[in-house]
Amino acid sequence: DGGITQSPKYLFRKEGQNVTLSCEQNLNHDAMYWYRQDPGQGLRLIYYSQIVNDFQKGDIAEGYSVSREKKESFPLTVTSAQKNPTAFYLCAVGQGFGNTIYFGEGSWLTVV
Amino acid sequence: KQEVTQIPAALSVPEGENLVLNCSFTDSAIYNLQWFRQDPGKGLTSLLLIQSSQREQTSGRLNASLDKSSGRSTLYIAASQPGDSATYLCATQYNFNKFYFGSGTKLNVKP
């Protein structure tokens, strides 16, 4: 939403391949999040980061990795260890406690 | 673990009708509750944020209420329009990283 850019919008992954989803923000917010959404289900937290060079696992971190080298960027890598990666991935940013979180437009990942 | 439930999963109404979407949560120790709108294949757009100390928030034709003691929130949409057709999700916040999302109510407003 607004200053959050996710790319690519659509991505196809072959078996055994690692792929990276990009999330960039210009809202100057400290917190960034990655969520996974499966059809008809709520969002599940993969990873989150409160500050640069620090990130924490969410509820479903297995098979995923992240980095936070810059405040503006929080890329997500879907590794070959993630057995069921086909889903809609959403990046969000926020200012922490009690504040609204803002979402990007999402990225669709499909295994072929 | 917090569970957030939204009923019904889908709702179809004629244009102009006032409607209520429901959200219930199991643990009342929340900091806030948010309502979001999601269009097909898109990200979530924040509609209303209610802090735990508040009872309701209003924005245009939307009004959200919060009753922590009963673990319930409602989103009231007045004079619904076809453009309101989307999926509406609620989410509770517990701490910095803990947001629990419902699975949403898919609303269809028929012209």
CA distance A102 to chain B (A): 7
pLDDT, tens digit, 9 for 90 and up, residues A65-79: 999 999 999 999 999
Q: What is the per-residue pLDDT for B107?
A: 98
Computed on alpha carbons and rounded to an integer, the radius of gyration of chain B in Å comes to 13
Chain A residues with CB under 8 Å of a chain B CB are: 1, 4, 6, 31, 33, 40-43, 45, 48, 50, 56, 58, 88, 90, 92, 96-106, 108
Chain A residue numbers touching B43 (CB-CB < 8 A): 1, 4, 6, 90, 103-106
User: Which residues of B56-102 form beta strands (DSSP E)?
Assistant: 56-59, 62-67, 72-77, 86-93, 99-101
B-chain CB neighbours of A90 within 8 Å are: 43-44
pLDDT at B94: 82
The rounded distance, in Å, linking the Cα atoms of A30 and A95 is 6
Query: Is A42 within 8 Å of B103 when comparing Cβ atoms?
Result: yes
**B102/A99 touch (CB, cutoff 8 Å), yes or no:** no
The pLDDT of B55-84, averaged and rounded, is 96
Q: Beta-carbon neighbour count of residue B27 at 10 Å?
A: 14
Task: Tell me what pLDDT residue B16 has.
Answer: 97
Do B100 and A42 count as a contact with CB atoms less than 8 A apart? Answer: yes
Give the per-residue pLDDT at A1: 47
Candidate from B49, B97, B102 with C-beta closest to A56? B97
- Name residues of chain A where pLDDT drops below 50: 1
| Cβ contact A50–B89 (<8 Å) | no
The residues pairing with A76 across neighbouring beta strands, listed in sequence order, are: A21, A66
Helix residue spans in chain B (DSSP H): none
In this predicted model, what pLDDT tens digit does every residue of B5-35 receive, in sequence order?
999 999 999 999 999 999 999 988 888 999 9
What whole-number distance in Å separates Cα of residue A38 and Cα of residue A36? 7
Contact B110, B63 (CB under 8 A): no
B61 in A contact zone (CB under 8 Å): no
Mean pLDDT of B87-94: 93
Q: Contacts of residue B100 in chain A, CB cutoff 8 Å?
A: 42
pLDDT at B75 over 50: yes
The predicted structure's pLDDT at residue A42: 84
Within 8 A of A103 by CB-CB distance, chain B residues are 36, 43-45
Q: Give the pLDDT of residue A108.
A: 96
